[in-house]
Structure 1
Amino acid sequence: MELSTLKNNFYNLYRAELMESKKQVAVKTYFSPGRVNLIGEHIDYSGGMVLPCAINLGTYAVVSRRTDQTVKIMSLNFEEMGILSFELDQIENKPEMDWANYPMGVFNEFIKRGHVIDQGFNILFYGDLPNGAGLSSSASIEVLTATIINDYLSFGFTKTELALLCQKSENEFNGMNCGIMDQFSVAHGVKDHAIFLNCDTLEYELIPAALKDYRLMIINTNKKRGLVDSEYNMRRRECEVALEIIQKGFDQRTIQYLCDLTPVEFLDVAPLLNEDTVYKRAYHSVVENFRVHESKKALSNGNLIAFGEWMYSSHESLKNYFQVSCKELDIIVDLSRNMRGVLGARMTGAGFGGCAIALVEKDKCDYYMEKVGRSYNVKTGLKATFYIAEIADGAGVVHESF
C-alpha cells in the first residue's frame, strides 16, 4: 500500500478528532519490519548464536496525539473490527480486543514502569506480513508501538531497552513465552546486515550480508502451524535432559549450555547419551551453533555459495535430528535444491508449517516462483505464497508532515 493511501485512510477515519483540535496536529508515519532468522534455529535456549535480519515487509502506522486519555486504534488488516479504543488508566487484556492486545500491552508496560503518558493517540496500522507464518508480526507491531511512544514522548529508551520492554509485554500481558530474538531483530535491524546475536547476553555484532545478484525469497507454505507450543516445550526439555547428562560426564571444563560444546567435544560425550531422541536434540544444537559461526564467516567474506550449503545442512538437521519440519517445508526445500539459480534453502521459525527461505538468483526469481509454486501445489494441494524480501533497517519514523 502506498503511504499516501495509508495517510488518506487515516485522515478519513480520524477526521472528527483532528478537526476538534484547536491547533495544527502533527501526523507521523512509522515503519517496523518483520524478521527472518537466516540460520540458527531452536538453539537460542541452548546458549547458541542466531543470525536473524530485519526485512522490508512489516507494519506501518500513521499517528497523531489526542487531547484526552483515549487511545483509538485500527488496523486495515482487520477492517471488520473497526476502530478499537481504550483508556490509558484502564488497560487490561480483553479477548474482544484481539490483535489490539499487542499494542495495548506495550502502553501498559510503559505505564507500569512509571512513565507518564498524559495524552492519548490516534493510530492507524497496516501490515504486509502474513499473520501466523513465523515472520514475527506480533514483535513488529509491539516494537512499532514502543517506537511511537518513545519518539513522541522523548523517553530516551535505547533500541535494546525497547526490545526488552516489548518482550516483557508479550510474556506477561499477552501470556506468550517468547524469547528476545524477534523484538531485538526488529529494533536493531540494519539494511544489508544480519545480526549475530547471543540471546542470553544480548551481545551482538552486525554482519555484512550483501546478497549481490541474489534475493532472499520467503515462501509461505500456507500450512497452518500445529503442535508448536507442545512440541517446543518437549524439545526444550529434551535439550535440558541432554545437558544434565553431559554435565555429569564431561570433565574437561564447566558446561553451562549445550552450545558451549564444539562438535569435536560432542563426539567425546555422545556415548553418554543412550537415548536416541536426546542424542538427536543435542547433536542438532551443537552442530547448528557451529553452522551459525561458519555462516557468519561466509557472509562476511561474501561467500554466498558456502552460506547456501549451510542453509541446506541446517534444514536437514531440523528435519532429521530436531524433527520440527513437516512435509510441506521439506517439499519446498527439495524443490529448491533441484533448481538452477538457487544457492540454499531451509525452514525458518518454529517449524511444523509456516515459512521457508531460499537464496535465489535475481533473474530467476519469477521462474522460481512459477515452477516451485506449481510443483508444490501438485504435491500438497496447497498454494504457496512468495515474497521477495530485502534486508532492511529496524523500526523508526519514515515520514513526517504538519
Structure 2
Amino acid sequence: MLAQTVASAFQRHFGYAAPLLVRAPGRVNLIGEHTDYNNGFVLPAAVDKAIYYAVGLSSTAEIRLVAHDLNDCFTIALDQVHRTDTPWANYLLGVVAQLQKRGLTLTGFDCVFGGDIPIGAGMSSSAAVECGLAFALNRLLSADIDKMELAHIAQKAEHEYALVQCGLMDQFASLFGKPEHVVRLDCRSLEYAYFPFDTQACRIVLCNSGVKHSLASSEYNTRRKECERGVSVLRQYYPEVQSLRDATLDHLAAHRDELGPVVYRRCAYVVQENQRVEAACRHLAAHDLGAFGQEMYASHAGLRDDYEVSCEELDVLVEAARQVPGVYGARMMGGGFGGCTINLVAPDQVENFIREVGATYEQRYGRPLETYQTTIVGGVEALEAAVAQP
C-alpha cells in the first residue's frame, strides 16, 4: 500500500504515469556496533520497514524531489547540485553528486519518496533513502553499477552531504539483505556470508526509547576520531595495526597510559565487539540462541560503559528485557544516544514481553513504549510496475 501511495503521489505531482517503483529497506544490526568504520565485523539484516520510491526521468534539466511524509518539495538544476539548507534533500543530492563524480551522464528526473522506517530509531532510514535513489537511477540510466559500488556511493553521499562519517554497514545491509538471513560483513575485505535466521522461531522486537538522536551529532564523529587516535598510537609500536581490526587487547594494555583512559576504553570496546560478532556467528550456526543473546548483553554493557553511546532510557529497556521470560538477549542498536533496543524473544512470549517492558517504561517515564515486530526481508529491489497504477 505504501508503494501505491507513493506512485499515486508521483502522478499527482508530475502528471505522468509509470515511474520506476523501488523498495529500500531499513535494517537491524544484531551485533557489531561501531565496528564498521574500524574495519571490523557486523551482523545486520534488512527488515520490513522501508522507504518507497517513485522515480521517473524527465525532459527537463532539473531534479524535482518530493518528501511525501514531510509534505515538502525541493527543486534544483542538474548542473547546480550542492549541499543545501534542506537536510532531507541533502541525502538525495549527495547520491546525485557521487554519480556525477563517477562520470555518469544524468538527465533531469522526478522523485517522490516516503515510507514507514521510524526516524531516529536506529534503523538507518538515511541509508535506505540513499540506497533507494542510487538503485533507481542506476536502473533508469542503465548504468550497470554493481551493488557493492552502489553501497559505496550511498556511503560517500552521507559523508559529504549529510556530514556523517559512517561506515558501510547500513548501506550494505539495505542493498544486500536476504529473506530470513542475517549477513556477516567483513568491513575490511568486504567479504560477506549469510546465516539463516528464522524470525518465526525467534522474533525480533524493537523497543523505541522515544529519544531522538542524530548521527550527525559531534559525539558520533568524536568516537571515530578517538578510535583513529588509538590506531595512531599503536602503529608506532606495531606497524601491522592499520585499524582497530588489527589490534589486540594485549596491544592496548601495553600502551594504556599513552592511550589515556578514554581512548583505551573506546579501543577496547571495538576489539571486544569484533570478537563478540565472530562468537555470535558460531552460536547462530549451532542454533544456540541463549549463547547468542549473552553476546548481545555483553555488547550493550560495552556500548554503555566503554564506548559511552547509550543513555538512561536504553539501559532501562535492556534491564527490563532481562527480567522477562523467553528473552534470549537485548541491547541498544544503532549509533546510540537514543533510538531502539533490539530484543530476541521466543514467539510465545512476545505479547508478555511487550506488556511487561512497556509497563516498566511507562511507569518510569510517563509515556507509552512504542514497539515494532520485524521480519527479515530482501534488499533494495524494483517493484512490479502494476503497483504503480492508480
Q: TM-score, normalised by structure 1?
A: 0.88
Letter aligned with residue 202 of structure 2: Y
Is contact 2:65–2:111 with CA below 8 Å preserved after alignment? yes
**Aligned residues, how many?**
385
**% same residue:** 37
> Does residue 1:7 correspond to 2:7, yes or no?
yes
Residues 33-52 of structure 1 correspond to what in structure 2 (within 5 A)? 33-52=25-44
Given the alignment, which residue of 77, 84, 99 partners 1:87? Answer: 77
Query: Could you list the per-position Cα deviations for residues 238-272 of structure 1 after superposition, in whole angstroms to 9, with x for gaps in the alignment?
Result: 4344445545566xx9333333245xxx2475253
Q: Are 2:363 and 1:378 equivalent residues in the alignment?
A: yes
Q: For 1:32-181, what aligned pairs fall within 5 Å after superposition? A: 32-79=24-71, 81=72, 83-95=73-85, 97-118=86-107, 120-181=108-169
C-alpha deviation, 1:226, in angstroms: 6.9
The answer as to whether partners of 2:21 and 2:385 remain within 8 angstroms in 1 is: yes
**1:112-140 Cα shifts (integer Å, max 9, x gaps):** 3221223x333221111111222111111
- Counterpart of 1:355 in structure 2: which amino acid? C
Q: CA deviation at 1:42?
A: 2.0
Q: CA deviation at 1:7?
A: 3.0
Structure-1 residue corresponding to 2:314: 329
1:260 aligns with 2:271: no
Structure 1: any 5+ residue segments left out of the alignment? 19-24
The answer to whether the 8 Å contact 2:64/2:75 transfers is yes
Task: Tell me if structure 2 keeps the 8 A contact 1:312–1:346.
Answer: yes
Write the distance in 2 (CA, Å) between the matches of 1:268 and 1:177.
26
Runs of at least 5 residues in structure 2 that lack an aligned partner in the other structure: none
**Contact kept? 1:50, 1:197, Cα under 8 Å:** yes
Alignment of 1:319-358 (within 5 A): 319-358=304-343
Distance 1:145 1:238 in 2: 33
Counterpart of 1:92, as a letter, is: H
Q: Write the deviation string for residues 142-192 of structure 1: whole angstroms up to 9, x where unpaired.
A: 110011111111110000011111112222233332222211111111112
Conserved 8 A contact 2:3-2:53: no
Q: Distance in 2 between matches of 1:124 and 1:269?
A: 49
Name the CA shift for 1:322/1:228 in 2 (closer, same or farther; >3 Å): farther
> In structure 2, do the counterparts of structure 1 residues 331 and 152 end up closer, same or farther at CA, with 3 Å as the change threshold?
same
Q: Distance in 2 between matches of 1:243 and 1:106?
A: 30
Cα distance in 2 for partners of 1:340, 1:307 equals 16
The residue aligned with 1:21 is none
State whether residues 165 and 221 of structure 2, in contact with CA within 8 Å, keep that contact through their aligned partners in structure 1.
Answer: no
Q: Answer with 1 or 2: which has the greater Rg.
A: 1
Report the alpha carbon displacement of residue 398 of structure 1 after superposing the two structures with TM.
1.6
> 2-side partners of 1:233 and 1:67: how far apart?
40
Work out which of the residue numbers 173, 176, 183 in structure 2 matches 1:195: 183
* Structure 1 contact 228–352 (Cα < 8 Å) conserved: no
CA distance in 1, matches of 2:215, 2:375: 30
Distance 1:141 1:242, change over 3 A: closer
Distance in 2, matches of 1:162 and 1:87, equals 23
Q: Distance in 2 between matches of 1:226 and 1:85?
A: 25
Cα-to-partner distance string for 1:336-380 (whole Å, 9 max, x where unaligned)? 000012111001111121111001122332332222122112112
1:189-235 Cα offsets, whole Å, 9 max, x none, are 11122221122332222222223422111121111337973333443
Query: What is the deviation of 1:291?
Result: 0.5
Q: Which residue of 2 aligns with 1:207?
A: 195
CA contact (8 A) 1:134 1:349 kept: yes
In 2 relative to 1, CA 110–257 (structure 1 residues): closer, same or farther, beyond 3 Å?
A: closer
**SS of 1:173 mapped into structure 2:** helix
